[in-house]
Amino acid sequence: MMNVTLLKRSLVLTALVSASGAVSAATEPNLEYWMWLSGLPNWLLAAMVAILFVVLAALGLLIYHRTTGQSRGMLDYATLSGALVAGLLVAMLAADPWNAYLSDKFTALPPTAAVPAQAPHGRWALDLLEAPDADDVQGSPKKPQKVLKNRARHAKVNISAIEAETLNLNLFDDTDLVAVRDSVVKDARGGSVWLGHIQDYPDSEVVLAARGKVLMGTVSVDGRFFEIVYVGGNTHAVRELDPNKLPAKFEPEQLPTPDDLGDGDVATDASVTATGDTPSATGQVVDVMVVYTPKARANAGGAAGIETKIMNAVARANQAYLNSQIDMYLNLVHMEEIAYTETGDMVTAWNRVMGTSDGYMDDVHALRNEYGADQVALITADSNYCGYATIMNSDWRSTAFAPWAFAVLHDDSIYNCLGSNDSFAHELGHNQGNVHDPDNAPSMGAYPDSYGYRECGRFRDIMSYSCSGEPRIPYFSNPNLTYNGYAIGIEGSSDTARSMNATAPIVANFRVSVTSPPAAPGSLNATNVSTSDSTALALRWSDNASNEAGYRVQGSIDGSSWAEIASLPQNTTSFDDTGLVSGQTYYYRVYAYNSFGNSAYSNTASATPTAPQLDTTAPTVRINSPLDGAQLSRNVSISANATDDVGVTSMQLLIDGKQAATSSSGSLSSNWNTKKSGSGTHVISVKATDAAGNSGTSTVTVTVK
């Protein structure tokens, strides 16, 4: 049976194209109009298209009869019936293109398209989630196996909030958490990742990846796991996850020794770096490419949905490297959909994506060479395992392993793998020489200490299996670090941090796209730019490199202990550090990076932010239509706008005291079916709130005839 939502949307497309032709980009309806169209009842849209096709057929018959002089007969009934069938066929053919087009309308908008020019910053914790509009929710939230005790709900995401340094994660009625930002990652494709922790829980982790109006969020705190995922339209699903709902365990692939392989057993890979042929990358940057199947894209609600999942997974892996003192960074060089139909077996997908001429996903290898990817990951809807990859063991500890540097991962549609289970870092870790904990690893990895580590009953690291449901912590084994007072490894046995620091230069040389590190940035300066809602410093520097992949900003409060606070795309020369403490001196330095390695640091700059003026000015609200005292009937368009000295963060429409619509920008529009409210006097109110929590309201009284 065809998906009802797709049918509804395709019917709308058919009606629009047939009635008015293609709409030019310059005159496209706004987002609210598309939302209104997609929210129309299914029966109404079907009736519209049916009537349209019947009318067109009737006109054709009328012209035919007048031209030929023939009388009406059975031909007329057959023609009209055929028109109805044709309408349904057109709807079915248009379903997928319309779905993709509508998804692009919702997801391609930059975050600033629906927020004030100045995004909210400051000391106030902004709500990340809003109640969804009634006409935007299609049925109850899906509850895949990974959901804990049916805890799932629909919500709208306030995308503008992720520009703030403090967020209120209002996940459920009984789960309201305050998240504090630690760093931010921005890419050249318009995406951003917010990384932080839950206040008062230093071992917690919050990762929010956003592109356009789509967000993928993971929250890990006190042994509990949550996700915020895009499900289509303007809606996200909020779920609490059961960390023990995982597919079967499976041991990663072990290659035979090079001597045991015949000449025909090794995949041809002319792009592997031969020792001494070109300058060697330092290992600080490993380029990774991620491809995904059409089904994985559909399961995630569209391209933006699956790609924010990938961005989230890469950011979590990089944070785990930082946590574990591993001097390595995954540089996401490319994401793309690849033609492949799942068989249900992940090992089959793994064999096929590695094959260079088997007729399955062969173009992945050309893409890998084009983008210089050291490692490749395939995201698939196959769910018999969380992931599958090859181990770079001691026999293959060289760039000769490059043809096997592939991993396959479940798309999270059923189990919690790609998200807070850190399966992405786990599977890429096998390519980097890691094996499971000693109890679950039948053979050695790249080195004798390349094993994961677990404390049964307490925790397990990223490479380990659980004993009895222990939470996976965002660390690789390192005996020099502790978690809740317990060492996260054993020297000489379980120390993947040391092992990965040793194998990183090998992995980074699977593909060499540049032959020298970038030049260091210069002329770094910091100036106070505190405003009424934020204590902030503005950093500016000169871009002296021509081959950088991006820049990283480090901050310190003493000039000696440094932490990364931002990762920025190439050609960036500025960054605003917000949410600072007034009167505290802050120190900064910046360096550039590319696939070869890192530049030297810039000069160190410092500044002391001043206390901002407290914002006490409420937004000014104006209801543009209808006017006060208006006489109304049928469907009425309500529009309002609000202005503020800093910026409006939300607007709320109330009709007779009941919420009818919301907006996360300084403008709001909605359609009101007055028949549902009945005749008589009604009060329309619009409330606007700014980042400081100040609110203003405008009210009009109207009469429905």
Mean pLDDT across 506-524: 91
Q: How far apart are the first and last CA of the chain?
A: 43
Confidence of residue 163 (pLDDT cuts 50, 70, 90): confident
Give the residue with greater pLDDT, 269 vs 75: 75
* Residue, of 345 and 25, whose pLDDT is higher: 345
Q: What is the mean pLDDT of residues 65-94?
A: 73
Fold of 620-704: Immunoglobulin-like (2.60.40)
Beta bridge partners of 478: 488
The yes-or-no verdict on residue 275 having pLDDT over 50 is no
Q: Is the pLDDT of residue 5 over 90?
A: no
Q: Find all residues with CB under 8 Å of 191, minimum gap 6, and list them.
A: 209, 210, 211, 307, 308, 311
Q: How far apart, in whole angstroms, are the C-alpha atoms of residue 158 and residue 144?
A: 25
- Burial 341-364, CB ≥16 within 10 A → b, else e: ebeeebebbbbbbbeeeeebbeeb
Q: Does 618 score more than 70 pLDDT?
A: yes
What is the pLDDT, as a whole number, of residue 531? Answer: 72
Q: Residue 76's pLDDT is what? A: 72
Q: What is the pLDDT of residue 281?
A: 58
Domain segments of the chain as ranges = 126-241, 282-508, 522-607, 620-704
Mean pLDDT value of segment 231-237? 85
Average pLDDT, integer, range 371-380: 96
Please, which pLDDT band fits residue 626 given cuts at 50, 70 and 90? very high
% residues pLDDT > 70 (the chain): 81
**pLDDT tens string 573-589:** 999 998 888 899 999 99
* CATH code given to domain 282-508: 3.40.390.10
Query: How many other CB atoms are there within 10 angstroms of residue 396's CB atom?
Result: 21
Least trusted range by pLDDT, from 172-181, 185-194, 311-320, 338-347: 185-194
* DSSP result, 320-351: HHHHTT---EEEEEEEEE------S-HHHHHH
Whether residue 501 has pLDDT greater than 70? yes
Contact between 684 and 630 under an 8 Å Cβ cutoff? The reply is no
Residue 691 has pLDDT above 70, yes or no: yes
Instruction: Check if the beta carbon of residue 508 is closer than 8 Å to that of residue 428.
Output: no
Diameter of the chain measured on Cα atoms: 97
pLDDT of residue 341: 96
For the chain, the C-alpha Rg in angstroms (whole number) is 28
Say which CATH topology domain 522-607 has.
Immunoglobulin-like (2.60.40)
Q: What pLDDT was estimated at residue 87? A: 72
User: What pLDDT, on a 0 to 100 scale, did the predictor assign at position 379?
Assistant: 97
Q: What mean pLDDT is predicted for residues 422-449?
A: 94
| In the block, residue with structure tokens 């005790």 | 149
How many Å apart are CA 463 and CA 407, to the nearest integer? 14
Please check the confidence at residue 516 and state whether its pLDDT lies above 60.
Answer: yes
In eight-state DSSP terms, residue 409 is E
CA torsion angle for 346, 350, 351, 356 (degrees, to 10)? 150
pLDDT (tens digit per residue) in 352-370: 999 998 999 999 999 999 9
Predicted pLDDT of residue 4: 34
pLDDT confidence of residue 196: 93
Say what the pTM is: 0.70
pLDDT of residue 370: 93
- pLDDT, residue 253, reads 56
More confidently predicted of 146 and 175 = 175
Answer for the pair 108, 517: CB distance below 8 angstroms, yes or no.
Answer: no
With 70 as the cut, is the pLDDT of residue 37 above it? no
pLDDT at position 124 is 55
pLDDT tens figures, 437-464? 999 998 889 999 999 999 999 999 999 9
CB neighbour burial string for 369-389, b if at least 16 within 10 angstroms, e if fewer? eebbbbbbbbbbbbbebbbbb
Residue 50: pLDDT over 90: no
Helix or strand (DSSP H, E) at 330: strand 329-337
3-state secondary structure 195-257: EEEECCEEEEEEEEEEECCEEEEEEEECCEEEEEEEEECCEEEEEEECCCCCCCCCCCEECCC
- In tens, the pLDDT along 7-20 reads 333 333 333 333 33
In the structure, what pLDDT confidence band is assigned to residue 144 with cuts at 50, 70 and 90? confident
- Please give the average per-residue pLDDT across 55-60, as a whole number: 81
What pLDDT is recorded for position 223?
86
- Whether residue 30 is predicted with pLDDT greater than 60 in this model: the reply is no
pLDDT above 60 for 89: yes
Tell me the pairing of strands 129-130 and 537-542: unpaired
Query: Each residue of 527-577: pLDDT tens digit?
Result: 998 776 678 999 999 999 999 999 999 999 999 999 999 999 999 999 999
Predicted pLDDT at 262: 37
Checking if the pLDDT of 91 tops 80, the result is no
Per CATH, 522-607 and 620-704 having the same topology is answered: yes
pLDDT of residue 676: 86
- Which of 52-56, 160-164, 344-348 is the most confident on average? 344-348
Which pLDDT value is given to residue 38?
46
Q: pLDDT digit string (tens) for 243-271? A: 777 666 655 656 555 444 433 333 444 44
Task: Read off the pLDDT of residues 203-225 as tens digits, 9 standing for 90 and up.
Answer: 899 999 998 889 999 999 988 99
**What is the rounded CA–CA span in Å between residue 554 and residue 567?**
9
CA atoms within 13 A on the CB side of 365: 20
